[in-house]
Amino acid sequence: MKLIVEKDYDGISKKAADILVSEVNNNSNITLGLATGSTPIGTYKEIVQRYKAKEVDFSNVKSFNLDEYVGLEGTNPNSYRYFMNENLFDHINIDKANTYVPDGKAKDLNSYTKEYDKLIEEMGGIDIQILGIGTNGHIAFNEPARELSVGTSVVHLTENTIMDNARFFKSLEEVPKTAITMGIGSILKAKKILLLASGENKREIIKKLLENDTLTTDLPASFLALHPDVTIIVDEAAYKG
Ligand code: GLP
């Protein structure tokens, strides 16, 4: 895994945007794998600025998001579909019909999750995947557990994640307890992976990830070691050399 240490949040956002914009400029039909959470917000802001400066065109770009809360409509401000529209899709010329976020209201979740993976395959796979990391080492919503799913699945969120994400909701009770998430296998199929982490609260997990040399379901991000093209971009606050 390649490591890039930037000075601050602004630095990681610019770096990630540089990489994404150059990938889109090299392949106008690219399929992006996108993430939510507070970490990629700065990257999306940078991308919007570059789009406005006419440095990049998204008219033929497709995207797949990693995860979504079960039970939330896309119009709910806490849904990841809403987040993506607000932070990126509404501000660039991507065709919304080409943006896929798992449907938290799907009736038959089991068959829906299988269809999501199939759709990614049919679209030619993800060219570059953006990831954040949970303070417990989760990627997307693949939580530390005895077993991890290979493909997209429905997962129960851990107390730790529910608490971490409660800041976006009015109360702890409102945080959904289950989510649809791309699986570790679906994530590892992306051709290139960028993992972003910022701030002191990520320092412990980044240290653990960088020092780790075993594959363990206790640290879902450890499976990234199996991928040949992973870049971790952290700021100084998240990195202790
Ligand atoms: C959520 C998302 C993850 C994200 C993580 C970290 O749980 N499902 O995809 O990486 O939060 O979020 P943040 O960037 O806000 O720390």
pLDDT tens readout for residues 120-137? 999 999 999 999 999 999
ipTM of the complex: 0.95
SS3 state at 93: coil
188 in Cβ contact with 223 (< 8 Å): yes
Q: Are strands 128-131 and 67-69 parallel, antiparallel or unpaired?
A: unpaired
CA of residue 134 to ligand 1 center, whole Å: 5
Which of 141, 160, 224, 233 maximizes ligand 1 atoms within 8 Å of its Cβ, making it the mutation to test the pocket?
141
Residue 143 known to be catalytic? yes
CA–centroid distance for 55 within its chain = 24
Return the sign of the alpha-carbon dihedral for residues 231, 234, 240, 241: positive
Domain spanning 2-197+213-238: which CATH class is it, in words?
Answer: alpha beta
167 against 41, higher pLDDT: 41
Residue 26 known to be catalytic? no
CA–centroid distance for 84 within its chain = 11
pLDDT tens readout for residues 26-66? 999 999 999 999 999 999 999 999 999 999 999 999 999 99
Please give the structure tokens belonging to residue 118.
């199939």
Out of 6, 23, 127, 138, pick the active-site residue.
138
One-letter amino acid at 10 equals D
pLDDT tens readout for residues 8-30? 999 999 999 999 999 999 999 99
> What span, in angstroms and rounded, lies between the C-alpha atoms of 110 and 72?
17
Out of 143, 164, 165, 235, pick the active-site residue.
143
CA–centroid distance for 210 within its chain = 19
The CA radius of gyration of the chain, in Å to the nearest whole number, is 17
219 in Cβ contact with 143 (< 8 Å): no
Domain assignments of the chain as residue spans, ordered by start: 2-197+213-238
> What span, in angstroms and rounded, lies between the C-alpha atoms of 181 and 103?
11
> What span, in angstroms and rounded, lies between the C-alpha atoms of 240 and 58?
36
* Confidence label for 240 from pLDDT (cuts 50, 70 and 90): confident
Q: Whose CA is nearest to atom 6 of ligand 1?
A: 134
* Confidence label for 211 from pLDDT (cuts 50, 70 and 90): very high
